[in-house]
Structure 1
């Protein structure tokens, strides 16, 4: 922004889940224009008033806190992908099952899982590896329910199966659209791979040093091209005229796919999407050896790390999420996690959609093995066994465990569309449990661009926002990286809940949820609605609380109602 804006911050602290309230506090502040490299890496931990950066006021709380936690054994379950167990900034941060003797092939604690010393991989295979590709849930629905509903009308469906029928219809439409889209894209990439070496060699005639620019290629293309209609027709027919060759290179530059390696990598990814994610006949559970339609313990394996020898695809989502919460704050390397707790990795997320069975069993495992908070930075459009997940959520509620879920990255209003898992019934009404928090994503920009343009939102079904854009964190392979998504907003809330419980262990999950929502920072201005270019709405209308996570305020409020 070209000039400094002034905003008024209304900070409303509600005492407990009841009706007591503090006095409103109005603060005049201004955003910081330019951030240093260090501030860019740690912006989400900053304070909007002290630093001019709309973070979660974590540094402010640590600077003011003089007390030691009452409970140093808080466990946060990370239900996610495989994790880099050997990362330098996560060493010593893993939960250990002391009742289990490592690698003796015996279920020593009789919890149904053999040698689960640090967590469990519900996508682990019988050979000791892990599943890399899952089908999308809408593909599984088409495969499972096709015989029930194919070519039938709503009047032919029993009332008890009506919701299934409607989901099948929605899934079938989605499958047909996605299948057509990805197959065309895959065909296009195959053409590019075949054409690339010919085009590269041909262009050497015009540019011996291969130092051509987009503008130069465009000029050359206009000179030699055929008509657009003929070009695309010939492209499908594997034509290799000069116009097609130049056009293919222009497309590569335009899509930043200049090298053959980049195109081939995308080709490999799309091959798996077409032949695995979208393949009705692909069965990802064969290597696991379980029945995905039966709830049971013990399937999978204890290999939670992504460093298994021979597995080509490296998954690092869990590593990034875990680093935000629990990266060592005292080792003077890498980053500082939100708090000093133990993480319990539970693997359920290959590329594709998670199975409801794995979600439900991971939640139950976390509860049964002492997790206080369950972070779920994943989501999907469909849910075949929503009842299994709902029952697991209620089980967590009964055991006073908090569930934190990322709102998703589709720029959608979750009051109008379903996003799973959630705490709603089949009619879309919230209330199956009161221990579930849905979190949207914010940026480091004060003002109209505060909300990430990809973030889902919803006055009823998103509870609050937290930083999720340009987050610097740990990555698989013992690296550090920057990434964005509501996946990184959720662990901000999980880490905050862990701090609250570390100091006030007698609070209930419902109280912790309400403290986090009530104590957030309220911004009294309009923001650009995600998914639009310039439509503005009050920030307060995009979530139930209308606020952004604030650790300092949360701890002040928790102290009053402990």
Structure 2
């Protein structure tokens, strides 16, 4: 009997261990699935991804010897990242570092791309103006103190934009000035507050609730934090209240001080009409031209990882190495990234946007990814002409719709494929992309994503996306900046296998082949208001790589057959 019970015990023990092992394995698989959820298929995996894995698993026999260049208009990039270093475009017509424009394209030593905000001294522009600040600076001499009836009909749109820019300038100047004032007050009092509180909390392990109790015990009046800050109060109650505010917002003094430094630059550079980053760049900001900037696209002079981290994230989604079994996997190892740096801390200049589009087209890019957005445009005509140039050369533009949680049909955003002065669509080669989450419920559309029945074409995953970041590291992030490269990678895949398709056909294939979801969703920024998912974009769909590739195959085959069966012209000799 004893042996019998021992046998039962071991059987039970094995079952328990098996269950625990199974649970651990299940949790690990779940975590890995969440890292790659955006590449999954909804029908197979119950995750609303883009079905990239489904396409790749069913197309192993599909071969392509082509290479596709995707230009990424963004920040600087970590070209040495383990998952990206083999995917960076190389200009083989240029001899490195000889200070000669060997390929005669107007750019000296552009080995891997170009930094359009590189300075004359070989440095990198860290801070740029906001676009509304540029508009106020440029338009004030023309429109200041003028009434609308005094403005010529052809200048009314610029006049209205000037008035709108003035409101933004006043609003954000006031906001950041007050914010900076608070941070200066906090950093000034922080050392005294820290030392004083040691008397009550020797281990400095106080909580918000404890600080609140101490404050209520010692306060002599009902002054608010703002009132104490404005009057420069330094009494004990003010010290405690200040520390309470810091504890809510910042993990330590270093983070507080970093925030103060950043806010100081926003107030005194981004928003300062007397600060102009073009002076250090050394170009003529009034005209489009070639050659300004420099070839340093991975300059550590930037000072922080943030200034070359964004492009690293975006590019890794498109072209991270698929064979090295580390980090993440992009769409194809046959995709090459052309890094074009145009993004400082501030808004991109229309001149740099336009010049980088021309550069990308002229140097062989088929897809241009633009994961940036601004609410004003000083020279929209420059960008529109560049976009039209790209269309004529069969190049697709992909743009993230932005992260302001508003309707871009009524709130202007740039770049876009139409003017906000009533004109119709001006090019047919731009796709605007919103962001979805992994949750197929009312929170399906990311709460930060912009939307628009007219101006957002479709959605793609953009929430909790696992990407590469500088210095061989990885992390999850969110934003329509990460939705756009999903579409760019898809377009690159289509052209890798079906190069006979036009840019208009590739765009339509991507839009027509998306997945529709029959659900009610919360409208971003509308406080609980819902609508059907299809009402938030032109197509009402989510990007689907597998469907897109199937449709591309069908259309490409039809085109090839039509060309083959088309009667050839007859040549007559005299």
TM over 0.5: yes
Is the counterpart of residue 108 in structure 1 residue 102 in structure 2? yes
Which residue of 405, 426, 449 maps to 1:455? 449
Shift of residue 71, structure 1, vs aligned partner: 4.7
Which residue pairs with 2:309 in the alignment? Answer: 316
Shift of residue 425, structure 1, vs aligned partner: 2.4
Which residue of 192, 199, 209 maps to 2:193? 199
2: CA distance, partners of 1:376 / 1:233: 44
Which residue pairs with 1:336 in the alignment? Answer: 329
1: CA distance, partners of 2:104 / 2:434: 39
1: CA distance, partners of 2:320 / 2:293: 27
RMSD across aligned positions (CA): 1.6
Q: What aligned pairs does 1:373-384 form with structure 2 within 5 A after superposition? A: 373-384=367-378
Whose Rg is larger? 2
Q: Which protein has the bigger helix share?
A: 2
Shift of residue 319, structure 1, vs aligned partner: 0.5
1: CA distance, partners of 2:172 / 2:483: 28
CA contact (8 A) 2:35 2:465 kept: yes
Which residue pairs with 2:48 in the alignment? Answer: 54
Which residue pairs with 1:551 in the alignment? Answer: 545
Give the length in aligned residue pairs: 530
CA contact (8 A) 1:374 1:403 kept: yes
- With the length of structure 1 as denominator, give the TM-score of the two structures: 0.92
Shift of residue 96, structure 1, vs aligned partner: 1.1
2: CA distance, partners of 1:35 / 1:488: 23
CA contact (8 A) 1:69 1:502 kept: no
2: CA distance, partners of 1:244 / 1:315: 40
CA contact (8 A) 1:504 1:559 kept: yes
CA contact (8 A) 2:412 2:420 kept: no
| Closer, same or farther: CA 428–53 of 1 in aligned 2, 3 Å | farther
Which residue pairs with 1:260 in the alignment? Answer: 253
Q: What aligned pairs does 1:45-124 form with structure 2 within 5 A after superposition? A: 45-124=39-118
2: CA distance, partners of 1:235 / 1:431: 50
2: CA distance, partners of 1:513 / 1:252: 49
Is the counterpart of residue 486 in structure 1 residue 477 in structure 2? no
Aligned to 1:55, the other structure's residue is in SS state coil
Is the counterpart of residue 155 in structure 1 residue 149 in structure 2? yes
In structure 2, the gaps of 5 or more residues are: 1-25, 557-574
CA contact (8 A) 1:413 1:458 kept: yes
CA contact (8 A) 1:129 1:311 kept: no
1: CA distance, partners of 2:414 / 2:102: 35
Q: What aligned pairs does 1:430-441 form with structure 2 within 5 A after superposition? A: 430-441=424-435
In structure 1, the gaps of 5 or more residues are: 1-31
2: CA distance, partners of 1:452 / 1:205: 46
| Closer, same or farther: CA 192–293 of 1 in aligned 2, 3 Å | same
CA contact (8 A) 2:305 2:470 kept: no
| Closer, same or farther: CA 171–475 of 1 in aligned 2, 3 Å | same
Is the counterpart of residue 362 in structure 1 residue 344 in structure 2? no
Q: Deviations over 1:213-253 (max 9, x none)?
A: 11111111122224343653332121111211111111112
After the TM superposition, which of the residue ranges 309-318 and 149-158 deviates more from structure 2? 309-318
1: CA distance, partners of 2:320 / 2:305: 26
Which residue pairs with 1:223 in the alignment? Answer: 217
Larger relative contact order, structure 1 or 2 (CA cutoff 8 Å, min sep 6): 1
Q: What aligned pairs does 1:349-428 form with structure 2 within 5 A after superposition? A: 349-428=343-422
Which residue pairs with 1:279 in the alignment? Answer: 272
Is the counterpart of residue 298 in structure 1 residue 291 in structure 2? yes
2: CA distance, partners of 1:362 / 1:371: 11
CA contact (8 A) 2:225 2:242 kept: no
Which residue of 258, 262, 266 maps to 1:269? 262
Which residue pairs with 2:320 in the alignment? Answer: 327
2: CA distance, partners of 1:249 / 1:545: 50
Shift of residue 312, structure 1, vs aligned partner: 8.5
2: CA distance, partners of 1:286 / 1:265: 26
Which residue pairs with 1:14 in the alignment? Answer: none
1: CA distance, partners of 2:87 / 2:120: 28
| Closer, same or farther: CA 331–313 of 1 in aligned 2, 3 Å | closer
Which residue pairs with 2:571 in the alignment? Answer: none
